[in-house]
């Protein structure tokens, strides 16, 4: 009987201990679960805030880069506009200088007067002499041998198609073609030739028609002398009546 009571006591004690243990675990679980959930929520919020901050920073950087790009573009356009204005002024100055150059050169020589003159025409964007152009130069060159103290003044011109700079170069090439022909065939020395490329600055006809543009694609050639009395009567300036090349 004594043994039975002892065993029962032990069992009751063990049961109570187990109950107390379960109760403690449940209590701890109840108390800690909200804390864990709150911690997880805070972690999620922190992660979201970090992402938002990164997104804002990325947008800010993109905005700064866009502003910098636009600023650089504006500065480049401003520089380009300034360069264009400078270039335009330089071209205008060059045009004025070119127009006055031949006049000043001849004026500084002693009272030159024309003996013969002609105009040779060129095709569109061409700088080589046509058979008609060579014939015109041959007629003018026939007066060279009998003219003392002479010079040959050349004015190369173009139509209005193309840029000013390109046409200055083209008009110069056309004048050079005349120089080379006279030098090679008639032994005209370089110091006897005064040349200027006028580009499209001095048209003789309107550039609004194909015929006018064809007339402007030319080199005017003048045989001039500063000597009086070479002949009883100065030669009347001649022209060739050369056909105009077709417009292109």
For the chain, domain boundaries:
1-100, 109-225
For residues 139 and 242, is the Cβ–Cβ distance under 8 A? no
In CATH, what class is 109-225? alpha beta
pLDDT tens-digit readout, 157-215: 888 898 988 988 988 899 999 999 999 999 999 888 888 777 787 788 888 998 989 88
Of residues 98 and 74, more confidently modeled: 74
Written as six digits, the tokens of 207 are 């550039």
pLDDT exceeds cutoff 50 at 247: no
pLDDT confidence bin for 232, thresholds 50/70/90: very low
In this structure, the dihedral spanned by the alpha carbons of residues 142, 146, 151 and 153, taken in order and rounded to 10 degrees, is: -30
Pick from 107, 106, 86, 104: nearest CA to 96: 104
| pLDDT score for 5 | 59
Asked whether 117 and 240 are in contact (CB, 8 A), the reply is: no
> pLDDT digits over 96-138, tens only?
555 455 555 545 555 778 899 999 999 999 999 999 999 999 9
pTM for this predicted structure: 0.50
Residue 246 has a pLDDT of: 34
Residue 3 is predicted with a pLDDT of 56
| Gap between the Cα atoms of 94 and 198, Å rounded | 10
Place of tokens 């938002």: 52
Q: Look at the alpha carbons of 204, 207, 211, 213 in this order and tell me if their dihedral is positive or negative.
A: positive
Burial class (CB in 10 A: 0-12, 13-18, 19+), 203: middle
Distances 193 to 153, 154, 155, 189 between C-alpha atoms, Å: 6, 7, 11, 7
Separation between Cα atoms, residue 75 and residue 64, nearest integer Å = 16
Please enumerate in sequence order all residues whose Cβ is within 8 A of that of 184, keeping only pairs 6 or more positions apart, or say none: none
For the chain, the residue count is 248
- Token duo for residue 159: 């139509």
The pLDDT of residue 66 is above 70: yes
pLDDT digit string, tens, across residues 8-48 = 556 555 665 555 555 666 665 566 677 677 677 767 777 77
Mean pLDDT of 209-225: 90
């Amino acid at each position: 009987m004594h043994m039975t009571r002892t065993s029962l006591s032990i069992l009751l004690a063990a049961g109570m201990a187990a109950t107390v243990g379960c109760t403690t675990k449940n209590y701890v679980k109840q108390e800690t679960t909200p804390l864990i959930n709150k911690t997880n929520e805070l972690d999620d919020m922190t992660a979201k805030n970090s992402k938002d901050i990164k997104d804002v920073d990325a947008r800010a950087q993109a905005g700064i880069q866009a502003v910098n790009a636009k600023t650089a573009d504006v500065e480049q356009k401003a520089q380009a506009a300034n360069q264009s204005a400078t270039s335009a002024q330089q071209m205008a100055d060059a045009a004025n200088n070119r127009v006055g150059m031949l006049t000043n050169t001849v004026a500084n020589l002693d009272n030159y007067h024309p003996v013969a003159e002609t105009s040779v025409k060129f095709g569109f964007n061409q700088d080589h002499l046509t058979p008609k152009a060579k014939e015109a130069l041959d007629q003018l060159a026939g007066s060279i041998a009998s003219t003392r103290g002479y010079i040959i003044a050349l004015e190369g011109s173009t139509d209005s198609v193309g840029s000013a700079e390109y046409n200055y170069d083209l008009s110069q090439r056309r004048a050079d073609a005349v120089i080379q022909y006279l030098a090679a065939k008639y032994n005209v020395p370089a110091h006897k030739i005064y040349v200027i490329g006028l580009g499209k600055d001095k048209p003789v006809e309107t550039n609004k028609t194909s015929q006018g543009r064809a007339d402007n694609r030319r080199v005017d050639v003048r045989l001039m002398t500063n000597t009086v009395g070479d002949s009883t009567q100065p030669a009347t300036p001649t022209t060739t009546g050369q056909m105009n090349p077709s417009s292109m």
